[in-house]
Amino acid sequence: MPWKLLRDKDKSCLKTRMIIKVKVKTNSGKQEIVKNDNGYVVYLESFPENNKANLELIKLLKKHFKKSVKIKSGLTSRNKIIEIIK
């Protein structure tokens, strides 16, 4: 997915962003990111309780992309929309 130009609300700062689809598999015993036709599948070690899996997902994606990462939608779902900001 290509990077798109994004302006902050005050229009003084320009950023670029990329939106990706992620399917999360929790309690898998490993941390892995696999790219497929529909986006990414991310395997996490955490259980999906008390936001642990979401925090592990953000940390893993930040490390993988070396960019700022934000969950746009799907906080309580396996299927998530992630925004990566350059």
Inter-CA distances, 85 with 31, 58, 62, 81, Å: 22, 13, 10, 13
pTM above 0.95, yes or no: no
The pair of three-digit structure tokens given for residue 19, joined into one six-digit string:
């939106």
> Can you tell me which residue has the tokens 């969950």?
71
> Which residue would you say has higher pLDDT here, 9 or 35?
35
Number of domains present in the structure of the chain = 1
Residue 2 within any structural domain of the chain: no
- The mean per-residue pLDDT over the stretch 52-57 comes to 96
Residue 85 within any structural domain of the chain: no
Residue 86 within any structural domain of the chain: no
Residue 19 within any structural domain of the chain: yes
* Per-residue pLDDT, 15: 73
Which residue range is the domain that position 19 belongs to? 13-34+52-77
Residue 26 within any structural domain of the chain: yes
Residue 69 within any structural domain of the chain: yes
